[in-house]
Structure 1
Amino acid sequence: RAANGVSAAAQRAIIGNGVAKHVEKSSEKKPPKTTGIEINSARRRTVIQASTSELLRGLGQFIAQNSHISAFEPAHLVMWLRTVDRALLLQGWQDVAFINPANLVFVFLIIREVIPDEESIHTVDDLHAWVLTCLYISYSYMGNEISYPLKPFLIELDRDKFWERCVTIVTNHSEDMLRLNSSSAFFTEVFSELKTYSTDY
């Protein structure tokens, strides 16, 4: 467990930045699929419709359009996310699938802020590692469970690099992560942007 010191430090940084989710677990599980999200306000009620497959397609298209990795295809993104979600279900780490429209909006928020300007991404494997790091933070913040194993999110042997990416993302973007859950207007904005990529190609 040579990486324990690093992972503990990273975890403390995540907690210190307000991104670790509350330890208390809700007695009610999230539904496995969400096809519509309602946003209520005192003046109006907005209903946003989107399917999981539609938003996965949009997320893949966003990366394809905003990454210089020519070998990347949108189908790669779908496979990466589905593989992790399926592994956690089969291994008993979660009772319901994490990949649903609401959670994909959160994943998109992080990827949107990180991937286009990340200078260390030179290959599909580099991109894969960054996407899975974004996904891990999304699980940690939005998932039903208190914690998740690292293995499904790792494609490299060096765990220090993984935790360094986590700390970088949380340090720079925790404010927007919190805002997504507290502001219905901001959520609508991000949701709508993601949805445009599912048809704009």
Structure 2
Amino acid sequence: PPPAGSRPPGSPRRVVVQASTGELLRCLGDFVCRRCYRLKELSPGELISWFRSVDRSLLLQGWQDQGFITPANLVFVYLLCREALRGEDIGSQAELQAAFLTCLYLAYSYMGNEISYPLKPFLVEGDKGRFWERCLGIIQRLSAKMLRINADPHYFTQLFQDLKSEGEGGDGSKHWTISLDR
């Protein structure tokens, strides 16, 4: 038998990535705060509270049976935020909240368990037209990546690792493990 720890040439390499939901939420918050550097008063906790508020609202209104905030869904939200939030274009917390909630709406629509979701929890501005323009712009730019994240486990793993590296780490007790063969 081959020695322990060795593998034949060309055989897949196993990649294990671990992070708790809370840790990934903090990583997402840290990332957005760094990305939106012009917003000096922004804290990761505010972003997390926007996310939790939407999730709670949808649960209480009966639009979903279980919470949306999971590691896999956070990776998807990170993909959207990383590509859609441009720090130099966001000049106020209200602009950031509108842009972030647009990313959440697309994530819920794409990854959520329901066929559709109400707009109200995702709207913080009076102009629905601007919301839909942002949605269509993100879809046009990211459609291929949005499909790839579910079709390509290695791409998902890379995004998971990227998100995890955005934060300083955490001590969450609930860990999820994703292991893939490479």
Give the TM-score normalised by the residue count of structure 2: 0.83
Q: CA deviation at 1:46?
A: 2.9
- Name the amino acid aligned to 2:75: V
Tell me the residue number matched to 2:179. none
2:168 counterpart SS class: coil
User: Runs ≥4 in structure 1, deviation > 4 angstroms?
Assistant: none
* Aligned equivalents of 1:48, 1:81: Cα separation in 2: 23
Q: Which has the larger radius of gyration?
A: 2
Unaligned runs of 5+ in 1: 1-41
* Aligned equivalents of 2:81, 2:88: Cα separation in 1: 10
1:55 aligned onto 2:24: yes
Residues 157-196 of structure 1 mapped to structure 2, 5 A cutoff: 157-196=126-165
Tell me the residue number matched to 1:64. 33
Unaligned runs of 5+ in 2: 1-10, 170-182
- Name the amino acid aligned to 1:101: P
**Deviation readout 1:74-110 (Å, 9 max, x if unpaired):** 0111100000000000100000000110000000001
Task: Work out which of the residue numbers 80, 84, 96 in structure 2 matches 1:127.
Answer: 96
Task: Work out which of the residue numbers 78, 82, 87 in structure 1 matches 2:48.
Answer: 78
CA RMSD of aligned residues (A): 1.6
Q: CA deviation at 1:197?
A: 1.7
- Name the amino acid aligned to 1:109: L
My pick for the range that moved more, 189-198 or 125-134, is: 189-198
My pick for the range that moved more, 91-100 or 65-74, is: 65-74
* Aligned equivalents of 2:76, 2:40: Cα separation in 1: 25
Q: CA deviation at 1:43?
A: 2.0
* Aligned equivalents of 1:164, 1:193: Cα separation in 2: 28
* Aligned equivalents of 1:198, 1:85: Cα separation in 2: 22
Q: CA deviation at 1:45?
A: 3.5
* Aligned equivalents of 2:122, 2:162: Cα separation in 1: 26
* Aligned equivalents of 1:81, 1:95: Cα separation in 2: 17
1:71 counterpart SS class: coil
Tell me the residue number matched to 2:123. 154
2:16 counterpart SS class: strand
2:100 counterpart SS class: helix
Q: CA deviation at 1:122?
A: 1.0
Give the TM-score normalised by the residue count of structure 1: 0.76
* Aligned equivalents of 2:117, 2:72: Cα separation in 1: 19
Tell me how many residue pairs correspond in the alignment.
159
- Structure showing greater relative contact order (alpha-carbon pairs closer than 8 Å, 6 or more residues apart): 2
Percent identity over the alignment?
53
Tell me the residue number matched to 2:82. 112
- Name the amino acid aligned to 1:94: Q
**Deviation readout 1:116-171 (Å, 9 max, x if unpaired):** 3562x210010000000000000000000000000000001111111010001001
Structure 2 vs 1, CA of residues 71 and 117 (structure 1 numbering), >3 Å: closer, same or farther? closer
Structure 2 vs 1, CA of residues 61 and 138 (structure 1 numbering), >3 Å: closer, same or farther? same
1:50 counterpart SS class: strand
